């Protein structure tokens, strides 16, 4: 594969990933049925929770 083909493939993969993540975000039932590694993507990290608490104050 050429560099251009690789870049095009990477961009296509990123677009598909973004689409799937959006679908999970918009459909809680779908997220409930997802594999654990998918659900983990939506679990806030301790750092994110700390930042959220900071932002509320």
One-letter-per-residue 3-state SS of the chain: CCHHHHHHHHHHHHHHHHHHHHHHHHCHHHHHHCCHHHHHHCCCCHHHHHHHHHHHC
Please give the Cα distance from 22 to 19 (Å, whole number): 5
Q: What is the pLDDT of residues 44-57, one digit of tens each?
A: 888 877 777 888 87
pLDDT of residue 4: 97
Tokens of 13: 């993969």
Tokens of 38: 């998918």
Domain span at 47:
3-56
pLDDT of residue 33: 93
Average confidence (pLDDT) over 34-50: 86
| Length of the chain counted residue by residue | 57
pTM over 0.85: no
Number of domains in the chain: 1
């Amino acid at each position: 594969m050429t560099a251009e083909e690789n870049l095009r493939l990477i961009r296509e993969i990123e677009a598909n990933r973004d689409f799937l993540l959006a679908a999970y975000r918009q459909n809680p039932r779908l997220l409930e049925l997802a594999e654990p590694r998918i659900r983990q993507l939506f679990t806030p990290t301790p750092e994110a929770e700390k930042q959220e608490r900071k932002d509320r104050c």
